[in-house]
Amino acid sequence: MKSFTYERADTPVEAAAAVARTPGAKFIAGGTNLLDLMKLQIETPTHLVDVNGLKLDTIEPTPDGGLRIGALVRNTDLAADERVRRDYGVLSRALLAGASGQLRNRATTAGNLLQRTRCPYFYDTAQPCNKRRPGSGCAALDGVSRQLGIVGVSDACIATNPSDMAVAMCVLDATVETVRPDGITRTIPIAEFHRLPGDTPHVETALKAGELITAVTLPPPLGGRHIYRKVRDRASYAFALVSVAAVIHEDGTGRVALGGVAHKPWRIETAEAELPRGSKPVTEQLLSGARPTRDNAFKIPLVERTLGAVISEARS
Amino acid sequence: MSDPSELNANRREVIAGGGAYSAAPTRVEAPVLTQVSFVVNGTSRTLELDTRTTLLDALREHLHLTGTKKGCDHGQCGACTIIVDGRRINSCLTLAVMHQGSAVTTIEGLGTPDNLHPMQAAFIRHDGYQCGYCTPGQICSGVAALAEIRAGIPSHVTADLTTPVELSEAEIRERMSGNICRCGAYSNIIEALTEVAESQG
């Protein structure tokens, strides 16, 4: 690990300002992904701003009947919150499908949104990777790509976003609240928060330098059946090959987003109109223009079958 | 702290820096030292640490509490599991300096050879290990996992999110998935946890 200086921030604006004024600085909250990457020198911050003391760790009701989740709410606490379990079950389920008990106890809401891909070529510093070293090439394109993306991919990167939580937040139309070093706040719809790789796969989110996530807000409850179905190589503690987050109403209408297939949670609202007609037409729209590799073409039928299982479960 | 001249701050840094210089011609970053205080197994400890020191390395290398084990050092195996402020965490994936004021419990703080924690006794009774390397992490994780069930925290296998969590083998297996045992003592570990859970009522 490279040497770094360290400070604890007292307020969100101070934290944002500290990162903005120090070249090579990063925020650290749970640290479960950042420290892993620092040990491999994939991340080499020169300065860490510890945001754990910012008191952004509560879940509060919003005036319109939604919930405002503090950036530092731990994944365990968000999944266990009674309001989330009752009204946003897909979010609880997604969180509980991710990582291990130990990691969920440390991992934060904002940190989960900012976790990096688990593409094996991003992790292998002996290999080219446009995300890790822009312009160096993508070893995954001709490499082992079973876990990697099938839609929204580019010639520069076929990595997937590893978050389960973000897929559920996408289907719930969450918004990300941030503060900048000058104190200006803004909200970013979750669908616009993560970017497609294009030719700049190292730019993963809409955040600007020093911009700090302060909360994620959920709109009022949608009702309906909340389902998160994750398909993976082992039954627990593994990243998704494919996952489906869905909210489906009694009349068969609803919403659906996919994990494990793209550089961001994958949701196409026009495809949702097909939900009452079953998984095949929805999948055709969701994955139109898919560019799978030889290794991961199986994800196309896997999405259709997983979505089919979700629709069946919703009807049961 | 990137100025190499700062390497003469003390003898240890000169030696460490000199060794690194002879090994590699590239510029060597001087370590940044920070003081941190936390309570370990009921005793207040203050350490002067390189900011890079993980909580795991602080416990093992600085406090010589070697019961907590380093397995993968990347949060994948669970051997380093300890309980911090009542919660189990991977001590390899957190910096010691981030734990100012925390209360840390390691395997050494759960019980002693003369006064075993019930989970330690159950692991012995049910043969919940073979080589023993993962065992301190398994036991700390097991103690905290049962507390999570008692606190009503759901898991991936909890059937209904709106009713209280019920103890079952499936619940224990799912909650212990972050602790790997290369010897494959899983079925005995489940028996040990089940016995302790049932004795707690």
Tell me how far apart the alpha carbons of residues B125 and B42 are, in angstroms, rounded to a whole number: 28
3-state secondary structure of A27: strand
Q: What is the DSSP string of A79-141?
A: HH-HHHHHH-HHHHHHHHTSS-HHHHHH-BHHHHHHPPP--HHHH-TTS-BTTTSTTS-BTTT
Note the pLDDT of residue B2: 44
Cβ-based contacts of B100 with chain A (< 8 Å):
8
User: Which residues of A are less than 8 Å from B161 in CB distance?
Assistant: 85-86, 89, 92-93
Nearest by Cα to A258 from A227, A224, A215, A225: A227
Evaluate whether A216 touches A75 at the Cβ level (below 8 Å): no
Return the residue in B35, B48, B84, B90 with the most chain A beta carbons within 10 A, the one to mutate for interface testing.
B90
- Give the C-alpha distances (Å, rounded to integers) separating A129 from A116, A204, A217, B83, B146: 13, 14, 34, 37, 42
pLDDT of the residue at B7: 44
Nearest-neighbour CA in chain A from B84: distance (Å): 10
Task: For chain A, give the percent of residues with pLDDT over 70.
Answer: 100
Residues 67-106 of B with CB under 8 A from A: 73-75, 78, 81, 87-90, 92-95, 97-98, 100
Res. A116: pLDDT tops 90: yes
Question: Residue for token digits 């003469």?
Answer: B8
H helix count then E strand count, chain A: 13, 11
B-chain residues near A46 (CB < 8 A)? 2
pLDDT of A303 above 90: yes
Question: Nearest Cβ partner of A31 from B51, B98, B152?
Answer: B98
Please choose, from the candidates A271, A275, A264, the residue with its C-alpha nearest in 3D space to the C-alpha of residue A287. A271
Q: How many angstroms away from the CA of B86 is the closest CA of chain A?
A: 10
Candidates B29, B32, B87; nearest CB to A6: B32
- Quote the pLDDT of residue B28: 67
Mean pLDDT estimate for chain B: 90
pLDDT value of residue B26: 58
Nearest CB to B88 within list A36, A92, A102: A102
- Count other Cβ atoms within 10 Å, centred on residue A2: 12
Please state, in angstroms and rounded to a whole number, the distance separating the CA atoms of residues A152 and A291.
8
Q: Strands A212-218 and A67-70, how do they pair?
A: antiparallel
What is the pLDDT of chain A when averaged over all its residues? 98
- Predicted local confidence at residue B178, as pLDDT: 98
HSE on the CB side for A123, CA within 13 Å?
10
pLDDT reported for residue B8: 45
- Which residue is associated with the tokens 């503090």? A70
pLDDT of residue B30: 85
CB A1 to CB B89 under 8 A?
no
Q: Which residue has 């039928």 as its token pair?
A: A301
pLDDT tens for each residue of B86-117? 999 999 999 999 999 999 999 999 999 999 99
Residues of chain A with a CB closer than 8 angstroms to some CB in chain B? 1-6, 8, 28, 30-32, 35-36, 39, 46, 48, 50, 52, 76, 79-80, 85-86, 89, 92-93, 96-97, 99-103, 105-106, 235-237
pLDDT tens per residue, range B108-150: 999 999 999 999 999 999 999 999 999 999 999 999 999 999 9
Distance between CA A198 and CA A82 in Å, rounded?
40
A 10 A CB-CB count for A183 gives 11
Predicted local distance difference test score (pLDDT) of residue A65 = 98
Helix axes B186-199, B135-150, angle to 10 degrees: 40
What's the pLDDT tens digit per position in B63-89? 999 999 999 999 999 999 999 999 999
How close B121 comes to chain A (CA, Å)?
23
Give the tens place of pLDDT for each residue, B4-61: 444 444 544 444 444 444 455 556 678 999 999 999 999 999 999 999 999 999 999 9
**Closest residue of chain A to B79, computed from CA coordinates:** A102
- What percent of the residues of chain A are helix, what percent strand, and what percent coil, each to the nearest 5? 30, 20, 50
Return the structure tokens found at B12: 């240890």
Amino acid present at A134:
P
Question: In 3D, which of A205, A208, A207, A178 has the Cα closest to residue A194?
Answer: A205
Q: Which chain B residues are Cβ-neighbours of A106 within 8 angstroms? A: 89-90, 93-94
Section A31-47 average pLDDT: 98
pLDDT tens-digit readout, A239-264: 999 999 999 999 999 999 999 999 99
**Residues of chain A contacting B98 with CB distance shorter than 8 Å:** 28, 31, 50, 52
Tell me what pLDDT residue B151 has.
Answer: 97
The confidence score (pLDDT) of residue B20 equals: 45
Average pLDDT of the segment spanning A17-36: 98
Its ipTM equals 0.97
Give the C-alpha separation, A36 to A17, whole Å: 25
Interface size, chain A vs chain B, as Cβ–Cβ contacts under 8 Å: 117
Closest-CA distance, A270 to chain B, in angstroms, reads 30
Residues of chain A with Cβ-Cβ distance to B1 below 8 Å are: 3, 5
User: Which pLDDT tens digit goes with each residue over A163-201?
Assistant: 999 999 999 999 999 999 999 999 999 999 999 999 999
Per-residue confidence (pLDDT) for residue B3, from 0 to 100: 45
